[in-house]
């Protein structure tokens, strides 16, 4: 336990050290002799990182994967560069991942498929490229998916129809090809049909709670 706590704390300090001086000033409370982000909780219990709109310039470090209990990672509206590290797939407790409106490049890591508790994935407004993998369909808890305004290309994976909890899907302003439009509307119609069936069953159960 002590070793894991040390790794998680060091990961955050390493990230701070990798940023430019101006960005480091936003994280003055992250110090070796203090608790994380001015709270009374040690790094091993860190559940939320919210650095929204802080003009942070730098990379998302692979060490972020050491924060094993992280549930919310919100780094949107900054000046983050480089690729999203594969190690982000180690954050098995993650529920909300928001990296939108940065300057991130490269493909969406396939390791994101390991985030089975993820409900919100916002990566829009970057320079992400490559194609969407079929592994996206493994995010069974996903409710909101926004990948618009990137450089993604290729067909939309058919596995998205397996996301039974999905409520919002934003994929526009990309370079998606093939049957993208047809599949997109198929997914939207499927979601609408699911809601209609759900409301129909709910109404029926209210009228006849015995289901007869």
102-131 per-position pLDDT tens digit = 999 999 999 999 999 999 999 999 999 999
Of 14 and 124, the structure prediction assigns the larger pLDDT to: 124
Domains of the chain, earliest start first: 2-207 (3.80.10.10)
Q: Which is nearest to 14 in space by CA: 77, 87, 107, 74?
A: 87
pLDDT, the chain, mean: 77
CA distance 12 to 43: 8
Look at residue 15 and give its three-state secondary structure. helix
Average pLDDT over residues 43-51: 78
pLDDT band at 140 (very low <50, low <70, confident <90, very high): very high
Contacts (Cβ under 8 Å, ≥6 apart) of 200: none
Q: What's the whole-model pTM score? A: 0.73
**pLDDT tens readout for residues 192-207:** 665 555 444 444 443 4
What is the predicted pLDDT for the residue at 201? Answer: 44
pLDDT band at 5 (very low <50, low <70, confident <90, very high): low
Structure tokens belonging to residue 107:
């493909």
Contacts (Cβ under 8 Å, ≥6 apart) of 74: 48, 49, 50, 51, 52, 96, 98
What is the predicted pLDDT for the residue at 15? Answer: 62
Does the structure show a pLDDT above 60 at 162? Answer: yes
Contact 112, 134 (CB under 8 A): no
Q: Which is nearest to 123 in space by CA: 87, 164, 151?
A: 151
Average pLDDT over residues 38-66: 77
Structure tokens belonging to residue 8:
């998680």
Q: Tokens 């709670």 — which residue?
A: 209
What is the predicted pLDDT for the residue at 10? Answer: 65
Q: Which is nearest to 131 in space by CA: 97, 149, 100, 106?
A: 106
What is the predicted pLDDT for the residue at 21? Answer: 53
What is the predicted pLDDT for the residue at 181? Answer: 52
Q: Tokens 């498929």 — which residue?
A: 113
Average pLDDT over residues 21-47: 49
Of 24 and 91, the structure prediction assigns the larger pLDDT to: 91
Contacts (Cβ under 8 Å, ≥6 apart) of 69: 44, 45, 46, 47, 93
Per cent of the chain over pLDDT 90 is: 42
């Amino acid at each position: 336990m002590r070793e894991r706590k040390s790794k998680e704390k060091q990961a955050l300090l390493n990230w701070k050290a990798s940023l430019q001086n101006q960005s480091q000033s936003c994280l003055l409370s992250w110090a070796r002799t203090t608790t994380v982000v001015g709270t009374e909780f040690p790094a091993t219990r860190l559940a939320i990182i919210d650095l929204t709109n802080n003009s942070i310039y730098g990379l998302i470090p692979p060490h972020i994967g050491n924060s094993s209990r992280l549930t919310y990672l919100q780094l949107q509206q900054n000046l983050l560069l480089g690729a999203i590290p594969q190690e982000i797939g180690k954050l098995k407790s993650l529920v909300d991942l928001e990296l939108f409106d940065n300057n991130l490049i490269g493909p969406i890591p396939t390791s994101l498929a390991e985030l089975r508790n993820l409900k919100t994935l916002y990566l829009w407004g970057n320079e992400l490229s490559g194609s969407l993998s079929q592994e996206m369909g493994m995010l069974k808890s996903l409710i909101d998916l926004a990948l618009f305004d990137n450089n993604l290309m290729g067909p939309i994976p058919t596995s998205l129809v397996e996301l039974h909890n999905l409520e919002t899907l934003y994929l526009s302003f990309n370079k998606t090809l093939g049957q993208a439009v047809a599949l997109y509307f198929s997914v939207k119609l499927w979601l609408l049909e699911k809601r209609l069936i759900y409301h129909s069953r709910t109404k029926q159960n209210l009228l006849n709670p015995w289901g007869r």
